[in-house]
Chain A
């Protein structure tokens, strides 16, 4: 069975600072990995996904993530935080087992201060 661990339930950064949200996964087979963002009172929006095509994945709104098999990690980064990036971020994993069921981490709330 697969699992996801997101380190830090809350991360605080200043506007313009680097954003780093950590995600480690556990999977017995090569996984697909995703980052979703959730704004207050909204559903989940896909930021980016890793499907083994390239280890560095670029997503929307300037976010990117790097798949590191040796570290079983898929950390999310953005060079310069904007106030509008304040939201909750979820890392998720699925395996190509015939179903696209997602297993999610507990989420990381990103707080951006001016």
Chain B
């Protein structure tokens, strides 16, 4: 079974631009979560989608948004990029995202975003 895939793997943008990252979950997984990883703040939860609905959201500004499609693929968008948005963005998928003992999150390789 194929793992979580993320595209693109690397992105370079300039301040003020916007960016869209894509995540394809493991087949059969309906929950997709996004995390931001930076050297200073570590791994922080952005948001989680299930059945095309955002169910949970972390403490990030409204410039960070996402969506999920009917095939469970997800995209996240960052508008008006700032230098501090440079990070590794990780996507994780799980069966239903309910936090039960059998519902584990599996991570993709991440998208490395550099903002100049």
Contact = CB atoms under 8 A, between A and B. Distances in A.
B101 A95 contact: no
A5 to B, nearest CB: 12
B42 A104 contact: yes
B97 A46 contact: no
Contacts, number: 74
Interface residues on B, range: 20 to 34
B99 A36 contact: no
B45 A49 contact: no
B106 A46 contact: yes
Contact of B109 (A42, A46, A52, A53): A42
B43 A99 contact: no
A28 interface: no
Secondary structure at chain A's binding surface: helix, strand, loop or mixed?
loop
Interface of A: 32, 34, 36, 41-46, 49, 51-53, 90, 92, 94-107
A100 B45 contact: no
Interface string B30-48: 0101010000001111001
Contacts of A103: 45
Contact of A43 (B44, B94, B100, B107): B107
